[in-house]
Chains A and B, each alone.
Chain A
């Protein structure tokens, strides 16, 4: 296991920001941490990184307790913080050399820094001070900064928030590459599509509690519905009463039905429609995505 989280609680005064968090992240896993705003994702990540101390519970990183063996734990982690924070006094290159120095790495590390700058497409920005970079460039510089000491575990806290399509693609490709090279990756994101395509395992936090932890595949399977979309030819149709509660949306020429995977066989549904005199030119089904799972989980918890 690369990360063991045991019975972690965090209080900010009276706010129970994290409650009884307990799970493991296997080595080499691409792990997604999801949840609405304020769920406690960053808090958990910060506790793993040692940036915040837990009120209760223990966490170990590559077998090193983050409070006791913090040196080894920190050597194992590369963290890209959610906020774009930087020291405006220094240039990209200075920043990376300093960060590498903090980790005890001297000139010998220079070739790796150079490589990082190339991979992250910052080679022509090395002499620019951080304050003069665009948001996307800053984000890339922060990613480089997190990797200067070649950590086996990489933590990305919403790396794609507020970046353009191109940079998002780049970050995706880069994190996939790191994963293929054997790194463990922990990613938080609000783009469920992103988690769905990248992550092997997903934990969902809501109001400080963990409400789901599973493989992405199993999690998608948990939501037993799919959508049936019909392009209608008949206008002003009358929906048969047996289907009424399955209607997700109905417009002039499109009907969407939400069907249970087991209880609503598509054949029977189509028959019912035909009997009701509803004709269509085309139909297709849509499998659930993480968004459906996410919404159903976070809503159920609240009600």
Chain B
């Protein structure tokens, strides 16, 4: 293993988003606060998802997780896609870095950005709502898994896409629907039959549900189920991504 090389690439990726922190950290936090302001004030008097949990407290964990995963995806996909289009990716390809090392560096940075944004939203949300904290370890596990999964999907998206168009289609028609329909704004148990069924096939649902459990101590499906499914999904996307990196698909044409 070229550990120092891996560390260098990781710190470069972290450095990259820190250089534009207003765009990469502050903007997502402010955006979530706007969501929160609108949804919780309009809906809190009408909607109750779990007994003894008011809607805002239900909503916030979902919003935090959604922000985490979206930013993790944005981090790898934009960095790699940009490197690919401007050609600066050659300097990584010329270096003695393996697919694993590149993978870990990129995903590591995506996780760091995810966690920073997540913590930012959490702290900011505390001004608006009272949010319990049930289990910090669960929170940590799910936020790392979630951002790693989306970081991985970001790598795949950036490699497969040939134009910005493709990448934004991947983001708008795959990532966004999956995260919006994963029960961020509602409990899937309240959905009518067929939609509830379908939701259970959405891997993002388990990430959000497990993460929310970390705050509230209640969830739609047992936490252990969410943990398993999220872990298996993580392994699956990582395997696909590593395979793509190893074959040099669209990169070492």
A binding-site residues for B, Cβ under 8 Å: 12, 49-53, 70-72, 74-75, 77, 79, 81, 83, 85-89, 98-99, 101-106, 145
* Interface size range on B against A: 20 to 34
Q: B residues within 8 A CB of A83?
A: 87
**5 A/B residue pairs, CB under 8 Å, sorted by A:** A71-B96, A81-B90, A87-B86, A99-B95, A103-B96
A12 vs B8: C-alpha distance in the bound complex, in angstroms?
33
B27-45 CB contact bits vs A (8 Å, 1 = yes)? 0000000000000000000
Q: Which residue of B lies closest to A99 (CB)?
A: B91
Q: A residues within 8 A CB of B90?
A: 51, 79, 81, 85
A191 vs B2: C-alpha distance in the bound complex, in angstroms?
39
Query: In the complex, are the beta carbons of A101 and B4 less than 8 A apart?
Result: yes
Which of these, B5, B87, B253, contacts A104 with CB under 8 Å?
B5
A118 vs B25: C-alpha distance in the bound complex, in angstroms?
38
Q: Which residue of A lies closest to B97 (CB)?
A: A102
Most chain B CB neighbours (cut-off 10 Å) among A77, A104, A106: A104
Q: B residues within 8 A CB of A86?
A: 86, 88
A53 vs B2: C-alpha distance in the bound complex, in angstroms?
22
With known contacts A71-B96, A74-B96, A101–B5 Cβ distance under 8 A: yes
Query: In the complex, are the beta carbons of B253 and A102 less than 8 A apart?
Result: no
Which of these, B4, B83, B92, B248, contacts A106 with CB under 8 Å?
B4
A9: shortest Cβ distance to chain B, in Å?
A: 14
Query: In the complex, are the beta carbons of A103 and B253 less than 8 A apart?
Result: no
Query: In the complex, are the beta carbons of A103 and B91 less than 8 A apart?
Result: no
Q: Tell me which residues from 1 to 34 in chain B have a Cβ below 8 Å from any Cβ of chain A.
A: 2-5, 7-9, 12, 16, 19
Query: In the complex, are the beta carbons of A74 and B252 less than 8 A apart?
Result: no
Q: Tell me which residues from 76 to 123 in chain B have a Cβ below 8 Å from any Cβ of chain A.
A: 83, 86-88, 90-98
Query: In the complex, are the beta carbons of B86 and A104 less than 8 A apart?
Result: no
A72 vs B7: C-alpha distance in the bound complex, in angstroms?
19
Q: A residues within 8 A CB of B252?
A: 50-53
A102 vs B16: C-alpha distance in the bound complex, in angstroms?
16
Q: A residues within 8 A CB of B91?
A: 85, 87, 99, 102, 145
Query: In the complex, are the beta carbons of B96 and A101 less than 8 A apart?
Result: no
A223 vs B223: C-alpha distance in the bound complex, in angstroms?
80
Query: 8 closest A-B pairs (Cβ-Cβ)?
Result: A101-B8, A85-B87, A102-B95, A71-B96, A87-B88, A74-B96, A104-B4, A102-B5
With known contacts A98-B8, A101-B7, A102-B8, A75–B83 Cβ distance under 8 A: no
Query: What total of A-B pairs shows CB separation below 8 Å?
Result: 73
A58: shortest Cβ distance to chain B, in Å?
A: 16
Q: B residues within 8 A CB of A53?
A: 248, 252-253
A50 vs B96: C-alpha distance in the bound complex, in angstroms?
10
A50 vs B91: C-alpha distance in the bound complex, in angstroms?
11
Q: A residues within 8 A CB of B87?
A: 81, 83, 85
Query: In the complex, are the beta carbons of A102 and B96 less than 8 A apart?
Result: yes
Which of these, A74, A89, A98, A101, contacts B94 with CB under 8 Å?
A74
Query: In the complex, are the beta carbons of A104 and B12 less than 8 A apart?
Result: no
With known contacts A83-B87, A85-B88, A86-B88, A103–B93 Cβ distance under 8 A: no
Query: In the complex, are the beta carbons of B5 and A103 less than 8 A apart?
Result: yes
A156: shortest Cβ distance to chain B, in Å?
A: 14
Q: A residues within 8 A CB of B12?
A: 98, 101
A89 vs B13: C-alpha distance in the bound complex, in angstroms?
11
Which of these, B8, B16, B83, B94, contacts A51 with CB under 8 Å?
B94
Q: Which residue of A lies closest to B98 (CB)?
A: A71
Q: Which residue of A lies closest to B92 (CB)?
A: A102
Q: Tell me which residues from 57 to 91 in chain B have a Cβ below 8 Å from any Cβ of chain A.
A: 83, 86-88, 90-91
A12 vs B250: C-alpha distance in the bound complex, in angstroms?
12
Most chain B CB neighbours (cut-off 10 Å) among A98, A101, A102: A102
A12 vs B96: C-alpha distance in the bound complex, in angstroms?
25
A3: shortest Cβ distance to chain B, in Å?
A: 16
Q: A residues within 8 A CB of B93?
A: 50-51
Extra 15 A-B pairs, beta carbons < 8 Å, given A50-B93, A87-B88, A101-B12: A53-B248, A53-B253, A70-B96, A71-B96, A72-B96, A87-B83, A87-B86, A99-B95, A101-B7, A102-B2, A102-B5, A102-B91, A104-B2, A104-B96, A145-B91
A83 vs B87: C-alpha distance in the bound complex, in angstroms?
8
A104 vs B8: C-alpha distance in the bound complex, in angstroms?
8
With known contacts A51-B252, A53-B248, A102-B9, A85–B94 Cβ distance under 8 A: no
Query: In the complex, are the beta carbons of B19 and A89 less than 8 A apart?
Result: yes
Q: B residues within 8 A CB of A52?
A: 252-253
A103 vs B19: C-alpha distance in the bound complex, in angstroms?
24
Q: B residues within 8 A CB of A87?
A: 83, 86, 88, 91
A123 vs B206: C-alpha distance in the bound complex, in angstroms?
54
With known contacts A53-B252, A86-B88, A98-B12, A77–B94 Cβ distance under 8 A: yes
Q: A residues within 8 A CB of B88?
A: 85-87
A182 vs B92: C-alpha distance in the bound complex, in angstroms?
26
